[in-house]
């Protein structure tokens, strides 16, 4: 079986493989997949497996109480560490003495919390002490007064939360880097990160015309290819193919990951080393790897992105 970038086994459809389990375990997995099941009746009312029918499952839906309970109660799955508490703030107001937050939660008086992601920065507090709390909201003693704001997707997190993903109603993800991945792997990684399948768009493939190499160089194991517009054509992280170079530069041919770019250059790391420097070339030999991701609309490592947000990935087209 193939592995994704996190080292998880993938099934034939590119989803994370999860074995069937017995016992009083939480609802899982949080991946789209299909189970093959069917049965036929026997003469003694016994059943036997026959031709299969695929029954599609669905991903966790934070709008459903039982799914939210799974996230809240089993934040450390499969270690079964009870979540320390991240909750979504939907409204807030202040009067100069007390700030009141609307958030379904399980906080208690005296809890120390961090509040982030609200449009009024005055209400984003660190290590604030909960003054009052019920399951629909909580207050802290603070002089912030930015009026009443609603329609928020802020977050309140216990300072003692074990990880940034603990708790129900968090509503946020950290965007992974999928540039350079195959389209199938990129979709899997984005769903694993928390994006819903319907929020991910695969754009029309980007033009992938072969670029003419005009110069090559290598210092140590770092190779640099010069071609018109190459820095814009092949962003850092993308997969490229270098071809058609002849001796002594043929050692630079192959498929690589771009490590640096400039206006007309791309750089990558080779498995061999040695100084090379050749100019005055006209070799049609640089292209993106078809079907791998060239760009993603939301930058990698962007935090506090709502799981309801959308993202677009753009793969390279077939080489032309």
Q: pLDDT of 248-263, one tens digit each? A: 999 999 999 999 999 9
pLDDT at 55: 40
Q: Is the pLDDT of residue 145 over 60?
A: yes
What pLDDT is recorded for position 13? Answer: 63
Q: Is the pLDDT of residue 31 over 50?
A: no
- Per-residue pLDDT reduced to its tens digit, 285-300: 999 999 999 999 999 9
Q: Which domains does the chain have, with CATH numbers?
A: 86-170 (2.40.30), 211-289 (2.40.30)
> What pTM did the predictor assign?
0.53
- Does residue 81 carry a pLDDT above 90? no
Virtual CA dihedral for 3, 187, 182, 224, nearest 10 degrees?
A: -100
Mean pLDDT score of the chain: 79
How does 11-41 read in b/e, with b if 16+ C-beta sit within 10 Å?
Answer: eeebbbeeeeeeeeeeeebbbbbeeeeeeee
Residue 174's pLDDT is 77
307: which residues sit within 8 A by CB, 6+ positions away? 62, 171, 172, 173, 194, 195, 196, 199
């Amino acid at each position: 079986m193939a592995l994704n970038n996190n080292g998880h086994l993938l099934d034939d459809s590119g989803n994370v493989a999860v074995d069937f389990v017995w016992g009083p375990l939480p609802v899982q997995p949080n991946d789209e997949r299909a189970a093959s099941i069917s049965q036929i009746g026997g003469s003694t009312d016994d059943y036997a497996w026959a031709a299969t029918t695929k029954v599609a499952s669905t991903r966790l839906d934070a709008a459903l109480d039982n799914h939210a309970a799974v996230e809240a109660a089993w934040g450390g799955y499969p270690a079964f560490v009870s979540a320390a508490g991240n909750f979504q703030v939907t409204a807030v107001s202040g009067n100069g003495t007390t700030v009141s937050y609307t958030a379904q939660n399980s906080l208690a008086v005296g809890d120390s919390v961090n509040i982030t992601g609200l449009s009024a920065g005055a209400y984003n507090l660190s290590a604030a002490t909960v003054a009052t709390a019920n399951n629909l909201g909580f207050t802290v003693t603070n002089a912030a007064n930015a009026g009443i704001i609603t329609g928020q997707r802020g977050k309140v997190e216990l300072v003692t939360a074990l990880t940034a993903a603990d708790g129900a109603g968090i509503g946020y993800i950290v965007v992974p880097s999928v540039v350079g991945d195959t389209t199938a792997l990129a979709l899997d990684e984005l769903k694993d990160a928390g994006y819903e399948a319907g929020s991910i768009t695969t754009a029309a493939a980007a033009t992938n015309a072969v670029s003419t190499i005009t110069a090559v160089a290598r210092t140590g194991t770092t190779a640099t290819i010069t071609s018109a517009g190459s820095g814009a054509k092949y962003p850092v992280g993308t997969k490229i193919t270098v071809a058609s170079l002849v001796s002594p530069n043929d050692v630079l041919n192959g498929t690589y990951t771009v490590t640096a770019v400039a206006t007309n250059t791309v750089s990558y790391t080779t498995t061999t080393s040695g100084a090379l420097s050749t100019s005055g070339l006209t070799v049609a030999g640089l292209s993106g790897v078809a079907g791998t991701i060239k760009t993603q609309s939301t930058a990698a490592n962007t935090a506090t992105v709502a799981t309801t947000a959308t993202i677009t990935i753009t793969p390279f087209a077939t080489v032309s």
